[in-house]
A and B are shown apart, each in its own frame.
Chain A
Amino acid sequence: MLVPLLLTLKVAATATLLALVFGLAGARLLSRYRFPGRDLLDAVFTLPMVMPPTVLGYYLIVLVGRRGWLGRWLWERFGVTLMFTWEGAAIAAAVVAFPLVFKGARAALESVDRQLEGAARTLGVSEAGIFFRVTLPLAWRGVLAGTMLAFARATGEFGATLMVAGNIPGRTQTLSLAVYDAVQRGEDHLALLLVAITSIVCIAILVGAGKLLRPRT
């Protein structure tokens, strides 16, 4: 009972961190720079939100499977593989959760008054300094909202996770997989308990997000 819950939190937290770093970088890239293919890149970054998780799972298998483009190199060079590991589950969840951070962060970054950044620039602040000390503090609400949603989405990830990480009790069996497994085996009481735990976790996240994001008066 506790094992799938802790594993889910570990996977979701890692996935959210990955999604936050890359989502923020992607949002920064698309909100500040104009270059050919920008709209296409925006579509590609949003794709995981609309594509079936099984399609993403398949892409990931082709990429990181033991015989995948990247996976083969990892396996032959270092003897490691992401398949059937919690790290693999985290990457699958990160891909699925990424657009939520990206979308939220992009909108938030674009709403920041560029004159404020310009003012900081005339005062001699470096570009990185401007981003972390001016832009981000002004945009944090939107970024956090996206991140919270990403965490909730990562907590419930099923399809891509099942394909990449399998369904191994104690190692990659997250709450959503444990529910599926329990129902398949006909262990309704266990399923009910797991469903209740999952619901409570998700409600806690949403209530927490709502509290954090409520504008202060």
Chain B
Amino acid sequence: MAKKLVGFALAALFVSLAHASEITVSAAASLQNAFAEIGKSAGSKVSFNFGASGQLLQQIEKGAPADVLATADLDTMDKAAAQGLILADTRVNFASNTLVLVVPATRNAVTSMATLGDADILRIAPGTPESVPAGNYAKAALEAAGKWDALKGKYVFGQNVRQVLDYVARGEVDAGFVYATDAALMKDKVRVAATVRSPKPILYPIAVVKGSPHEEAARAFVSLVRSDAGRNILAGFGFGAP
């Protein structure tokens, strides 16, 4: 009896695996809302795996069955390309973004890059620079301003850009670095204190993962993102053209 049950369970598992014609898209956390919207109009079933771009790369490197990779920076995609993880001919930049300094909406004091050293700013949240592109851009901007090291005691690193947004929205940190598109999602809880000039361009590349068993559907998704419908949805969430 038990053997029969195990047999059934295994059979069910194989059937469900074999029927998995849906594609998995690993995408940067900041793309969450826009991609969920785009996914609705996709022909095949699309499931999403959102996270910090560096984390997504690590997963694919270790063999995660992702079919499409979309990151929030060129560096991570370059690494994926260098390791031969993506189909080079499918790679394309599809959106751009702006880095902003946000503060809790309840904060009255004027805040800017120049005032981050003030005593009333106890905690600043960038994303972990090694795996979160928004954190990497923030680090580069702070380094360019000669402030990165001076503020070291104040950092609380977020696991992805949305966690940073959450920290600021809850008032757990006094300032954070997120994208303009993230800040727009929580207008009632966070205030954009300043637009941060990033030394590197903030571009979003997308590519089909090499060895994807659903290459055709994956290519179709990339085309969908670049189509007029896809661009409109991205623009609606505040993303710029690449």
Residues of B contacting A168 in the complex (Cβ-Cβ under 8 angstroms): 155-157
Q: Does B58 contact A (CB under 8 A)?
A: yes
Q: How distant is A181 from chain B, measured CB to nearest CB, in Å?
A: 7
A67 touches B58 (CB 8 A): no
A84 to B130, CA, bound (A): 20
Q: Which of A33-70 contact B (CB under 8 A)?
A: 61, 65-67
Q: How distant is A68 from chain B, measured CB to nearest CB, in Å?
A: 9
A97 to B58, CA, bound (A): 32
A84 to B131, CA, bound (A): 20
Interface of A, secondary structure class, is loop
- One digit per residue, 1 when the CB lies within 8 angstroms of any chain A CB and 0 when it does not, for chain B 53-80 equals 0110110010000000000000000000
- One digit per residue, 1 when the CB lies within 8 angstroms of any chain A CB and 0 when it does not, for chain B 96-127 equals 00000000000000000000000000010000
Residues of A contacting B54 in the complex (Cβ-Cβ under 8 angstroms): 184-186
B170 touches A67 (CB 8 A): yes
B58 touches A186 (CB 8 A): yes
**Range of interface residues on chain B?**
10 to 19
**Range of interface residues on chain A?**
10 to 19
Residues of A contacting B128 in the complex (Cβ-Cβ under 8 angstroms): 167, 181, 184-185
A167 touches B131 (CB 8 A): no
A3 to B55, CA, bound (A): 24
Q: Does B240 contact A (CB under 8 A)?
A: no
* A183-B58, A184-B58, A186-B61 given; A67·B156 CB < 8 A: no
A169 to B153, CA, bound (A): 11
User: Could you write out 12 A-B pairs with CB less than 8 Å apart?
Assistant: A65-B170, A65-B171, A66-B172, A84-B123, A162-B159, A166-B156, A167-B159, A185-B128, A185-B130, A186-B54, A186-B57, A186-B61
The 10 closest A-B pairs by CB, nearest first: A185-B130, A184-B55, A186-B58, A184-B131, A83-B172, A66-B171, A166-B156, A67-B171, A84-B156, A185-B131
